[in-house]
Structure 1
Amino acid sequence: MDRDSFRPGPLAEVARVPAGDRWDLVFVRDLRHPPEKVWAALTEPDQLAQWAPFLTSRDLGTTGDATLSTLDGDRHFDAPATVLRAERPTLLEYTWGDDLLRWELAPADSGTRLTLRHRIDKADVAAMTAAGWHLCLDVADHLLDGDPVGPIRGADALNFGWAELRTAYAERLDS
């Protein structure tokens, strides 16, 4: 796909649920690929570099410490990470700074049902977080299809419908 013609796909299933004094954004998406292929996209540094909002210092498929470097243009911000659980190809859980990400992969008729639970500090950042993951996972889906568009990160996301996605997810999460 030509990057300039990239447009976000339909909204994902989302929910915002209390998690103690924090919140979990629950983001559910169906992908047309088997769990093993999706697992590789979630864990392998070369694949993550093509779609995720960060670069990783190592393969995330095993437990232990890592560094996740968020990119925004020429700037990058390193955050400590710890892979807490890596149960190939069904469950990946790691910290990213103060956040906790839990990726659940379940076989589905058409491929994989991916459920991301992203623990956030404030309820009002759920729509922004959902919009960011929406774009990232659209890009990952193209990558898995063998039709990479390149990562869409940071301020660049504004050029690909992030603001509209944030508004749509805010409406969905507040209803």
Structure 2
Amino acid sequence: MTPDDDTYRPSPLAQVDCTATEDRWTLVFTRDLRHAPEKVWAALTEPAQLAAWAPYTADRDLSAAGDATITMIDDEKPQDMTAEVVRAEPPTLLEYTLGTDLLRWELAATDAGTRLTLRHTVQDRDWIPKVAAGWHLCLDVAEKLLEGHPIPPIRGAAAMDFGWAELNDQYARRFGIPDTGLPDA
């Protein structure tokens, strides 16, 4: 099940940056949400909420440090990945490994709700626009969930039907990284 493509359109590009350290690259993706940090935290950590918007779900609540199994949901081939929550400081900081990637979610209260900053570290610079495009779609879905108007998750090959390629191209141009298209399967 996917969102109705007659009603869903990707939101405007997010505030993004890219930093390099040694042989790794970090996408810095910032988005303002109209919801309290506690509500956003729950969406980031509770398996049922993750399954409603993220490209994965978890075998446990991620709000405490320790090992976890993250199941990537890509069409009909779910893939289990080893993860470790390295830091969990509810409701402001969540950091965990996902395979070789590191995800750091920072939540800061604002007058209007929460400023969410995701720092997603990858090994290959070419992945930065792809990751930005994917998180862009996922966070659009998360925002609908937080607003109480959920739409089905956009993940896997279905993302192509909802603007992933265009977002990937736009983020690639913004970063000055060649658009290499779809990730290798």
Q: TM exceeds 0.5?
A: yes
Aligned residue number for residue 153 of structure 2: 151
Distance 1:102 1:160 in 2: 26
Aligned residue number for residue 97 of structure 2: 95
Report SS of the residue matched to 1:129.
Answer: helix
Alignment of 1:1-175 (within 5 A): 3-4=4-5, 5-174=7-176
Distance 1:42 1:55 in 2: 10
Distance 1:55 1:44 in 2: 9
Distance 1:45 1:125 in 2: 26
Q: For the aligned residues, what is the CA RMSD?
A: 1.1
Aligned 8 A contact 1:94 1:102 in 2: yes
Distance 1:89 1:19 in 2: 27
1:71 Cα shift?
Answer: 1.2
Aligned 8 A contact 1:139 1:152 in 2: yes
Equivalent AA in structure 2 for residue 22 of structure 1: R
Equivalent AA in structure 1 for residue 161 of structure 2: N
Report SS of the residue matched to 1:148.
Answer: coil
Distance 1:26 1:53 in 2: 18
> Please, what TM-score do these two structures have when normalized by structure 2?
0.92
Equivalent AA in structure 2 for residue 90 of structure 1: T
Moved over 6 A (4+): none
1:3 Cα shift?
Answer: 2.8
Report the number of matched residues: 174
1:173 Cα shift?
Answer: 1.1
